[in-house]
Amino acid sequence: MTAAFDAILFDADGVLQRTDEKWFYAMTALTGTDDEEQVERFFGDIMNAELPSLAGQRPFEGPLGEVLTRWKVTTQAAEVLELWHHVDVDRGVVAAVRDLRAEGIRCALATNQHPERAAYMRENLGYDKVFDDLFYSCDLGVAKPDPAYFAEAVRRLGTQPGRTLLLDDNRGNVAGAREAGLMAELFATDGGRAELDRILGAYADPSS
């Protein structure tokens, strides 16, 4: 299909899968308020607490529990963590990955995940049978958008940065990949197979 790249790194959330609405509404309900500012602060606290876990420094359950305690949420952290398991896999994108691999293009999952969600994804989503490799940030010890994440992913995949393409719906991650020497394209969140085809079409070799 193309001579522009040898490998593609696929982001998970927003590209390969989406977190269904149950997660957002269930998380919002924990605050006991509809105040948008309060809800935004709650989510911000959770995301900040998650950062060390994305780099594999520790499990997320403990820091999450601390946030819940500060917000006077009585639901246990382990139960709240299960909300991260509400994932809808885009079967159209998965099928495209299989097609790309059949054409000889190496494909890998490149995603920021805390250890608990990474374990769930490994055990339940079957990505090990879809991709050549799985690069969970908590396993690599560094998270996107740090260029070191992409450098390590490319090293493990065995490709050259300039021949590796990242597809990600986060602008910061795209910038980090480019800083590491990769090609990178912003993927419209939950754009599915049509968005993938649009991006890959721009790289197609007209002579092929």
Give me the CATH number covering residue 191.
3.40.50.1000
- Asked if residues 67 and 52 have their Cβ atoms less than 8 Å apart, the reply is no
Distance of CA 149 to the CA centre of its chain: 13
Pairing mode, strands 87-89 and 106-111 = unpaired
Domain assignment present for 167 = yes
Place of tokens 């490319």: 154
Helix (H) or strand (E) holding 106: strand 106-111
Residues 11 and 54 in one domain: no
- Which neighbouring-strand residues pair with 87? 19
Domain assignment present for 208 = no
For 9-58, write each residue's pLDDT tens digit. Answer: 999 999 999 987 778 889 999 999 889 999 999 999 999 999 999 999 99
Instruction: Output the CA angle 150-155-157, nearest 5 degrees.
Output: 95
Q: Domain of 29? A: 21-85
Residues 101 and 191 in one domain: yes
Domain assignment present for 2 = no
Domain assignment present for 132 = yes
Residues 95 and 181 in one domain: yes
Residues 97 and 144 in one domain: yes
Residues 97 and 156 in one domain: yes
Residues 80 and 96 in one domain: no
| CA 70 to each of CA 29, 64, 79, 84: distance values in angstroms, whole numbers, following the listed order | 16, 10, 17, 20
Residues 81 and 103 in one domain: no
Q: How many Å apart are CA 168 and CA 9, to the nearest integer? A: 8
What is the number of domains present in the chain? Answer: 2
Question: Residue ranges of the alpha helices (H) in the chain?
Answer: 21-31, 36-54, 61-70, 77-81, 91-102, 115-124, 137-140, 147-157, 171-179, 192-203
Residues 177 and 139 in one domain: yes
- Look at residues 56, 85, 114 and tell me which one is the last residue of a structural domain: 85
For 133-188, write each residue's pLDDT tens digit. Answer: 999 999 999 999 999 999 999 999 999 999 999 999 999 999 999 999 999 999 99
